[in-house]
A and B are shown apart, each in its own frame.
Chain A
Amino acid sequence: MVALLEVDQLNVSMRSEAGRLVPVIENLSFAVAPAQTLALVGESGCGKSMTALALMGLLPEDFVITSGRILLEGRDILSLPARDMRALRGSAMSMIFQEPMTALNPLFTVGDQIGEVLRWHRGLGGAAAREQVLALLRAVQIPAPERRIDAYPHQLSGGMRQRVMIAMALAGKPKLLIADEPTTALDVTVQAQIFDLLAQLQRETGTAILLITHDLGAVGELANEILVLYAGRCIEAGASAGIVAQPRHPYTRGLLRCVAHLQLGQAPKSWTDLGEIPGMVPPLGARGAECAFLARCAKAADVCRSNPQPILEPIAAGHAVSCWCKAAVAA
C-alpha cells in the first residue's frame, strides 16, 4: 500500500540565543498508510510535539527545518508556498490538541467554529453547513446536538470540548489526523470514550492517525505501528504488537516496565518497586553524537561510548532498533 504521509530524514533545529543551531529532531523517517495509526511515543522533551508542528507547518519562530522531506500523497509539502500550505491544513491534514480548554475560541459558539471550517474547505454555508455541523456532532457522539450546536465552549465539559475539537478536525475530511496527547487532560472514563471514538471514526472515514503520546502501554491496541523517540532521535520502530510484546531498546523496555499495571480479580501483590529509568532526557544542546540514551542506560558498554548513535537497523520483519547492544538486550 502506498504511504499517505512519508517523512524522510527530517531534521529540525532551534536557533539558540547565541544564534547557534541546536538539533531538536534528527534524521527522522517514517510513513503512515491510509486508515492506519502510527503512534509517536516518548517523554516530554523528545521532540514529539515538534514533529507534529513541523508536519503542519506550524513550527514556532525559532525553529527551522534544516533538511529532509515531508511527502503528503507524494507531494513535497515543505516546498509549497504558504498559501497552498494553509489550504492543506484542515482539509488534507488536521490536528487535535492536548488542551480542549484553550484550543477552542471562547467567543464563538461550537456551531460557528465548526461551520467556519466547513466554509473554508468545503464551501458550505447557511443551512447546508448547519446540517453538516449537526451530522459531525452526531458522529462524535455528542448528545442532543441540536442544543449543543449553539453552546459556547465554556458551557461544555472537558470531554465534550475534546469531542468538538475532533468534530472540527474532521470537518474538512482530512486524510491525516494528528492527535497530540488527545486524552491527557481528560478523566479516565472519558479517555476511554475518546479512544473508542477515534478508532470508530477511523474505521468509518479511513483517516490515517498520527497519535502522539507519552504512554506506551496505552497505545498498544490503538496503534498499528509505534515509533519510539528519544531526545529527537528514533530509537525503535515497528509493528505495535511486536514492540509491546518484545521491546528491544533498553529505553523502550524501561518505558514499559515503569508503569503499574492494573490487575483485576486478584489481590494485589505487596509493593515491588517499579522499574525506573534513572535521570532524565538530555536537554537540547547537551546531546552529543553518541547514543542519546547512554547516560541513563544500564546496559551501556564500551562500544556505546566510543561510537556515534547507531543507525536504525531492522532486527526482524517490521521491527527496527537503534542500539549497539541489540543482540545482548534481546537475550
Chain B
Amino acid sequence: MTAFEAAQIHDASDVLLDVNDLVVHFPAGRRSGKPSFVHAVDGVSFRVRRGTTFGIVGESGSGKSTTAQAVMRLVPVTSGQVVFGNRNIAELSGEPLRAVRRHLQIVFQDPFSALNPRRRAGDQIREPLDLLGIGSRSDRDERVRKLLAEVGLPPQAADLFPHQFSGGQRQRLCIARALAPEPDLIVCDEAVSALDVAIQAQILNLLKRLQRERNLTYIFISHDLAVIQQFCDEVAVMYLGKIVEQAPAAEIFRAPHHPYTWSLLAAAAPPGSMRDELKRRYLVKGDPPSPVDPLPGCRFVERCPSAVEVCRQRLPTLDVVAPCHYVGCHRSAELAPPTFDSR
C-alpha cells in the first residue's frame, strides 16, 4: 500500500490508530475436502486521526463490524497490524492487552443485548473502573454519577436494572459505560440503527457533544449515508471485506468514484427527479454475494454494471484519485462519475 502512504498528508503524530492490511478469516467448514473460510475482512488499511470521526459504511456482510471488532481485539485477527499509540495491539495478549483496552471502547447496535440483565446500571458503568482499579471506591461512585449526568440520565438510574430502561436510555447507559475509563477511541457499531428516528437524533447529538468536550475519536459504523455524511470527517466504503473507496466526507459525497458508492448514494438520495435518474443509472440489482471463499477479481464484479474482463481476473488496488481519496476500481479513470444536479 505504498500509494496510500505516499499520499498520507497528515502529520504522523496526529494519527491515533493505524490499521495496516488487517485480515480476519473465519473457518466455514469444508467444501469438497478443502477447508473454506469466510473472508470477513480481507486486507483493510486506514488511519484515524485524533479527535476526528472515521466512518465505515457498507451493507451486511461487508465486514464493517468485523473490522471494528478486530481493531478492538474482540474477534481474532488473522493477520495485519493495528497500531494504536505506537504499539501493535494485534500482537498483544494477556495483561498488556487488558491494559490497553481502557483506551478503546465500543458502543453496540442492540441496546438490549449490550447490557447485562442481572446487574444494576450503576454497577455496569462502574465495571471498567473496578476492573482497571481506577480511583477509590467513593471516587468511582462519584464518577458514575457524573457520567450518568453527562449522558442525560438522573442519578437514581444507577440503582435500576436494564429492563427498566427504554431503548434510547439503554444506549445512553452504554455510552456512559464506554466513557467510564476515559478512552481515546470509541467504536460506534451501528450505535443508532436499532433506535427510533427521534431517539437516533438524541443519541447522535449526544455523541457529537461528547466528542467536542472530550476530544474523542470515533470509528462510526453505519449503513445510513445521510448520518455518515453529517457525522464523519473521513469515510470508507466497504464491500465484501474490502475498502472500495475512501475519502474525506466532503470529497466522497461530492465526487464519488466507485460504482458501488454510486449505487449506495442512489439508494439514499433525497426523493426527486435527481434520485430517479441516479437510481435508473446506478442502483445495482440483487444482493451482495457470500463472503465464503470469494473468487479472484474485483469483489463487486457480479453486481457491477460497468464490469469488464479485467475486473474478473485481477483484484484492483486502491489508487489515489485526489488527495486522501482512494478508489479500488480498474476503470475509475475512464468511468464518468455521476453529476448531482439537483435542479
Interface residues of A (CB under 8 A from B): 43-44, 143, 157-160, 187-193, 196, 214-216, 220-221, 254-255, 258-269, 271, 273-278, 280
A265 pairs with B341, CB closer than 8 A? yes
Say yes or no: is B11 at the interface (Cβ < 8 Å to chain A).
no
A214 pairs with B197, CB closer than 8 A? yes
B254 pairs with A267, CB closer than 8 A? yes
Taking CB atoms and an 8 Å cut-off, the chain B residues in 261-277 that contact chain A are: 263-271, 274
Could you jot down 9 A-B contacts, CB within 8 Å? A43-B196, A158-B287, A187-B287, A260-B204, A260-B224, A262-B225, A264-B254, A266-B254, A277-B201
Q: How far apart sit A316 and B196, CA to CA, in the bound complex (Å)?
A: 29
Across the interface, B201 reaches (CB within 8 A) one of A215, A259, A264, namely A259
Across the interface, B208 reaches (CB within 8 A) one of A220, A255, A271, namely A271
Q: How far apart sit A157 and B290, CA to CA, in the bound complex (Å)?
A: 9
CB-CB under 8 A for A193 and B285, given A264-B253, A276-B205: yes
Say yes or no: is B286 at the interface (Cβ < 8 Å to chain A).
yes
Across the interface, A280 reaches (CB within 8 A) one of B166, B227, B263, B339, namely B166
B204 pairs with A274, CB closer than 8 A? yes
Interface centre among B266, B268, B287 (most CB of A within 10 A): B287
CB-CB under 8 A for A188 and B230, given A160-B287, A258-B200, A259-B197: no
CB-CB under 8 A for A193 and B208, given A215-B197, A268-B230: no
Residues of A within 8 A of B263 (CB): 189
Across the interface, B59 reaches (CB within 8 A) one of A187, A254, A262, namely A187
Residues of B within 8 A of A262 (CB): 225-226, 229, 253, 265, 268-270
Q: How far apart sit A274 and B198, CA to CA, in the bound complex (Å)?
A: 9
Q: How far is the CB of B107 from chain A (nearest CB, A)?
A: 18
B201 pairs with A276, CB closer than 8 A? yes
A187 pairs with B288, CB closer than 8 A? yes
Interface centre among A187, A214, A266 (most CB of B within 10 A): A187
Residues of B within 8 A of A263 (CB): 229, 253, 270
Say yes or no: is B202 at the interface (Cβ < 8 Å to chain A).
yes
Interface centre among A44, A216, A268, A277 (most CB of B within 10 A): A268
Per-position binary interface string of chain B over residues 6-27, scored 1 when its CB falls under 8 Å from any chain A CB and 0 otherwise: 0000000000000000000000
B198 pairs with A268, CB closer than 8 A? no
For chain B, the count of residues having a C-beta within 8 Å of the partner chain is 50
CB-CB under 8 A for A280 and B287, given A188-B267, A260-B226: no
Residues of A within 8 A of B284 (CB): 189
Q: Which residue of B lies closest to A259 (CB)?
A: B197
A261 pairs with B285, CB closer than 8 A? no
A276 pairs with B198, CB closer than 8 A? yes
Q: Which residue of A lies closest to B287 (CB)?
A: A157
Q: How far apart sit A67 and B226, CA to CA, in the bound complex (Å)?
A: 42
Say yes or no: is B311 at the interface (Cβ < 8 Å to chain A).
no
A264 pairs with B342, CB closer than 8 A? yes
Q: How far apart sit A276 and B196, CA to CA, in the bound complex (Å)?
A: 11
Residues of A within 8 A of B265 (CB): 262, 264
Say yes or no: is B249 at the interface (Cβ < 8 Å to chain A).
yes
Given contacts A260-B231, A268-B250, A274-B200, 9 further A-B contacts (CB under 8 A): A159-B286, A187-B288, A188-B224, A190-B59, A196-B279, A263-B270, A264-B254, A266-B253, A273-B205
Q: How far is the CB of A297 from chain B (nearest CB, A)?
A: 13
B196 pairs with A271, CB closer than 8 A? no
Q: Which residue of A lies closest to B169 (CB)?
A: A280
Residues of B within 8 A of A157 (CB): 287-288
B201 pairs with A265, CB closer than 8 A? no
Q: How far apart sit A73 and B124, CA to CA, in the bound complex (Å)?
A: 55
Q: Which residue of B lies closest to A220 (CB)?
A: B271
Say yes or no: is B283 at the interface (Cβ < 8 Å to chain A).
yes
A278 pairs with B202, CB closer than 8 A? yes
CB-CB under 8 A for A188 and B264, given A266-B254, A277-B198: yes
Across the interface, B286 reaches (CB within 8 A) one of A44, A143, A271, namely A143
Q: How far apart sit A273 and B201, CA to CA, in the bound complex (Å)?
A: 8
Q: How far is the CB of A56 from chain B (nearest CB, A)?
A: 24
B196 pairs with A214, CB closer than 8 A? yes
Residues of B within 8 A of A274 (CB): 200-201, 204-205
Per-position binary interface string of chain B over residues 179-207, scored 1 when its CB falls under 8 Å from any chain A CB and 0 otherwise: 00000000000000000111111101100
Q: How far is the CB of A160 from chain B (nearest CB, A)?
A: 6
Q: How far apart sit A188 and B225, CA to CA, in the bound complex (Å)?
A: 9
CB-CB under 8 A for A43 and B268, given A265-B339, A273-B205: no
Taking CB atoms and an 8 Å cut-off, the chain B residues in 40-76 that contact chain A are: 59-60
Q: How far is the CB of B236 from chain A (nearest CB, A)?
A: 16
